[in-house]
Amino acid sequence: MYPIIQQKIKELCHDGVFPGASYAVIKGATIDCHYEGLKQILPVPKPIAPNIRYDMASLTKVVCTTTVLLKLLESEQIDLNRPLTNYLAGWTDSAVTLRHLLTHTSDINPYIKNRAQLDKQELRQALLQLKSGDSIGQKVVYTDTGTLLIGFLLEQLYQKPVQQIFIDEVLRPLNMTQSGFKLVDKTLAAPTELTANRGLIQGDVHDPKAFVLEDSCGSAGLFSTLEDSIKFVDMLLKRGQLPDGAVFLQAKTIEGLYQDWTPTRQGHRSLGWDLLFDDHKGHNVLYHTGYTGTFMIVDLACQEAFIFLSNRVHPVDKRLDYLAKRDELIGLYKKRKTD
């Protein structure tokens, strides 16, 4: 569909920015899927394949956590502007609301002393002790703290591990049968980083806090394929409607995501999602990234999307190199959408 995009991704693979990538460009009813490069370099090189499970990293925040919250907002079980203390036992800072958490405007300092030495329960307690700062509601600072706390809130509300909530409320209804959190066959996953303490990570979550929190993490942990990611994005483009005509989310809920939900209305953040202004089209598109080398762009107005899945941290995390090249790729996509 966009040869310049294909060529750019080929170049980035060749230059070692990432081993390989599974990606789709969607325009109306046309879905153009591509698989480029390698699944892995270590321990031995293996070719890419359509059914590879990628560590989605922070795309978990929008595919799962935000989506469940949107369903709760529709059913009026939660209120964006009520204090988190109303919903989460153990949290004591009454200044923080769900709106703050979803728009990254809570100004919570995420630093936890000796975090790497904490076990699951100790880390949970440490997160519950965090406090907001003087700039609450005034500025956007992206952290995973908000969705971690939302994960705890969901567990309290549903009375089960948050990853099971995600399976029941998102993955099963959307028929995302290749997605999950605990892979039975870890060789299906694209490996991520070769680390000093965990060795080569494959089939386990890369994110360190998610690794400790296990099935109680709302910020990362999802493994998915390109095919399943397309199912999720298709639901967004269809304004919440599923292929069988069932309503998963209301159309007004999806349409509402394209507005600024920060308290000042000037933070360029939606609920969970980032808002990327498309200079060439003159409107906002939904955008989110994952640390491991994933991102989604969803343009409801133009019925277009770009899904990109890679394991760019494999075998070595070269974050700054990747970020510059990723932004070049997104710039090319935004420009080519006008042609």
84-107 residue pLDDT tens: 999 999 999 999 999 999 999 999
pTM for the complete prediction? Answer: 0.97
Q: For the chain, which domains are there?
A: 1-169+176-230+258-335 (3.40.710.10)
Task: Please name the helix (run of DSSP H) or strand (run of DSSP E) that holds residue 21, with its range, or none.
Answer: strand 20-27
Q: What percent of the chain has a predicted confidence (pLDDT) above 70? A: 99
pLDDT classification of 67: cutoffs 50, 70, 90: very high
The per-residue pLDDT for range 272-290, each reduced to its tens digit, is 999 999 887 789 999 999 9
Q: Is the dihedral of CA 209, 213, 215, 219 positive or negative?
A: negative
Of 276, 272, 246, 294, give the one whose Cα is nearest residue 337.
276
Q: What's the rounded Cα separation, in Å, for the pair 171 and 235?
A: 12
Residue 91: closest CA among 37, 152, 39: 152
Sorting pLDDT into bands at 50, 70 and 90, what band is 44? very high
The strand ranges marked E within 10-113 are 20-27, 30-40, 46-47, 54-55
Cβ proximity of 104 and 146 under 8 Å? yes
